[in-house]
Amino acid sequence: MQIFDYQPPSVPWLDLRYQDRDLIIINKPSGLLSNPGRAAHTFDCALTRLQRLYPDTILVHRLDCATSGIMVFARNKKAESQLKTQFQDRQNEKVYIAEVMGGIAKDAGIIDLAIAPDPEHPPYQKTQTPGTAGAKSALTHYRVLERRENSTLVELTPQTGRTHQLRVHMLALGHPILGDEFYGDDEVIKARPRLCLHAQSLRFTHPYSGKAMHFYSKHPFSA
């Protein structure tokens, strides 16, 4: 979604799934920014909507504007630091569901391709040879859930958190995510009214109690 086309959904205004004194969980809709952009008209986002209800809300991680699904926010600096450490040290588990173009031949696999910014076309990313300036290692596990007539429903478990990682990795595999206005051609973009990528499951440790937390939001990509 290009920023000049930004028209965030208003229904539901917020899909709150959980909140306590340390954290808040929401199910973010596709089309809503995680945090404000530079332009004034991008002020409306998941973070600012939450801050109207809970002024102490702090951003911990991001989902792309077009990606829907589970997000966690902190409510104090200690929780923010602890949660960000979990994300940086890969102590949590994020599971995404995507519908991609064509039929994936293998039932499961690993995509191990470094990713770097495309200097000629920011903010696009691209796969790159390890060791190239700006390239960062990126690892994604995939598992086929359902093969459809012209597409495949796939579970994606990223082991790293690079910008646009899942979109770039599926493109490199030859199966771009349907509805992807950034990396898809006209056929891919027109195949669906939105990016078919959803953060379905998130597991982490509660920053105060140490309790294992698991939040789930079923994907909307029914056949």
Q: Which residues are catalytic?
A: 64
Are 34 and 71 spatial neighbours (Cβ–Cβ below 8 Å)?
A: yes
Structure tokens at 184: 């898809």
The secondary structure of 155-222 as a DSSP string is EEEESS--TTHHHHHHHHTT-PBTT-TTT--HHHHHHSSS--EEEEEEEEE-TTT--EEEEE------
- d(CA 132, CA 110) in angstroms, rounded, equals 21
What single-letter amino acid sits at 141?
Answer: H
Structure tokens at 220: 């909307």
Report which of 107, 178, 109 is spatially closest to residue 146, judged by C-alpha positions.
Answer: 107
- Spell out the residues 6+ positions from residue 185 whose beta carbon is closer than 8 angstroms to its own: 176
How do beta strands 139-147 and 108-112 pair? Answer: antiparallel
- d(CA 128, CA 77) in angstroms, rounded, equals 36
